[in-house]
Chain A
Amino acid sequence: MSLDKDTVRRIAFLARVRVPEDALEPLVGELNKIIGWVEQLSEVDTEGVEPMTSVAEITLPLRTDEVTDGYYSNRVLANAPDNKGPFYAVPKVID
Chain B
Amino acid sequence: MAYLIQGETGGWEVVVGLEVHAQIVSQAKLFSGASTAFGAAPNNQVSLVDAAMPGMLPVINEYCVEQAVKTGLGLKAKINLHSVFERKNYFYADLPQGYQISQYLLPLVGEGTVTLGMPDGSQREIGIERLHMEQDAGKSMHDQDPNRSFIDLNRSGVALMEIVTKPDIRSAEEAGLFLRKLRSILRYLGTCDGNMEEGSMRADVNVSVRKVGEENYRTRAEVKNVNSVRFIQQAIEIEAERQVEAHESGAGVVQETRLMDSARGETRPMREKEFAYDYRYFPDPDLLPLDLTPDYVDAIAADLTELPDDKQQRFVTDYGLSAYDAGVLVADRETADYFERVTHATSEGGKTGSRDAKMAANWVTGNLFGALNAAGLSIAESPVSADALGKLLDLIADGTISGRIAKDVFEVMFETSRAAGDIVEEKGLKQIIDTAEIGTVVDRVITDNPDQAEDVRAGNDKTIGWFVGQVMKATSGKANPQAVNELLAKKLKG
Contact = CB atoms under 8 A, between A and B. Distances in A.
Contacts of A88: 43, 150-151, 153
Interface in B18-53: 26-28, 32-35, 41-51
B285 interface: yes
Majority DSSP secondary structure for residues of A touching B: loop
B289 A60 contact: yes
Majority DSSP secondary structure for residues of B touching A: loop
Interface in B140-170: 140-142, 144-153
A84 B93 contact: no
A73 B149 CA distance: 18
Contacts of B289: 53, 60
A91 B147 contact: yes
B254 interface: no
A69 interface: yes
Contacts of B259: 95
A16 interface: yes
Interface residues of B, number: 56
Interface string A72-95: 110111000010111111111111
Contacts of B91: 16
A77 B62 contact: no
B278 A68 contact: no
A64 B63 contact: yes
A49 interface: no
A20 interface: no
A79 to B, nearest CB: 8
Given A67-B33, A69-B34, A92 B149 contact: yes
B285 A54 contact: yes
B60 interface: yes
A82 B63 CA distance: 36
B33 A93 contact: no
Which range holds the interface residue count of chain A?
A: 35 or more
Interface of B: 26-28, 32-35, 41-51, 59-65, 84, 91-93, 140-142, 144-153, 259, 270-271, 273, 275, 278, 280, 283, 285, 287-291
23 contacts: A14-B278, A16-B91, A53-B283, A62-B60, A63-B33, A63-B62, A66-B27, A69-B28, A69-B34, A69-B48, A72-B44, A73-B44, A76-B51, A76-B153, A86-B42, A86-B44, A87-B141, A87-B151, A89-B145, A90-B93, A91-B149, A92-B145, A92-B146
